[in-house]
Amino acid sequence: MDLVAALATGLAGAVAHARRDVAAVLPGVAIAISLVPPLAVAGVCLGHGAGWLTLGALVLFLSNLLALVLGGIVVFTATGYAAEPAASSGRSRRRTRLTLVLLAAVVLLPLSANTVISYLLTAWSAQAQTVADEWISAVPGSSVTGADVVSREIRIRVRTPGEPPPISGLLSALHGRIPDGVPIVVETTQGSTIHAGRVGAPS
């Protein structure tokens, strides 16, 4: 959705440059919407020492910048600017193309990796919830309300009228369903947080 918004603002900004009857304020709005927020987030995260969040905000900034540039290329090509005699040398145009390709690679690699990681985390959460449903069924009236990945650990939220079953049974059932070494935390409706340990770790 962020890339779609950036592409839309890039199209709007390019149209504002290409047509005189469109308000010239649109490019500034495009920059304010797509480029300033991720840079501000990167600065705040860097100030708090959150390196990964800073990197994520910078990747979002670069992806929005690329979307803005691509939107401008599409509009200027459609309006006939590409058909005009080139004002720059062939070497300059090759450098521009190479820069765009490198920028696209810098953006697409982390975005692709993030997509794969997000898919895996979602799949592991679903597996953990399925296993936890079977585990908590030993206590009548109990249920699992959710399972999420938080800070590199899987948090399983359960609703139970009493004490949950032995936590070792949950870890044993999760072995082979999600990668070994993932920390498991169980949160109960009584307000207790049980740090079960890591999947696959010796008991």
Q: Are 15 and 80 part of one and the same domain? A: yes
pLDDT digit string, tens, across residues 2-24? 667 667 777 776 776 666 655 56
What is the crossing angle of helices 26-34 and 36-47, to 10°? 30
**44 belongs to a structural domain:** yes
- Single pTM value for the model: 0.60
Q: Are 129 and 61 part of one and the same domain? A: no
**203 belongs to a structural domain:** no
The tally of domains found in the chain comes to 2
pLDDT digit string, tens, across residues 28-67? 777 777 788 889 999 999 999 988 889 888 888 888 888 7
**Pairwise CA distance, residues 63 & 193, whole Å:** 39
Q: Are 6 and 74 part of one and the same domain? A: yes
**17 belongs to a structural domain:** yes
Confidence at residue 103, expressed as pLDDT on a 0 to 100 scale:
79
CB contact burial 12-45 (16+ within 10 A = b; e otherwise): bbbbbbeeeeeeeebbeebeebbbeebeebbeeb
Higher pLDDT, 72 or 128: 128
Q: What percent of the chain has pLDDT over 70?
A: 82
Higher pLDDT, 188 or 73: 188
Domain that holds residue 193: 122-198
Q: How many CB atoms lie within 10 A of CB 112?
A: 10
Q: What percent of the chain has pLDDT over 90?
A: 20
Instruction: Report the range out of 20-29, 76-85, 157-166 with the highest average pLDDT.
Output: 157-166
Q: Which of 37, 56, 84 is the last residue of a domain?
A: 84
Q: Are 6 and 76 part of one and the same domain? A: yes
Q: Are 8 and 79 part of one and the same domain? A: yes
**Pairwise CA distance, residues 2 & 174, whole Å:** 35
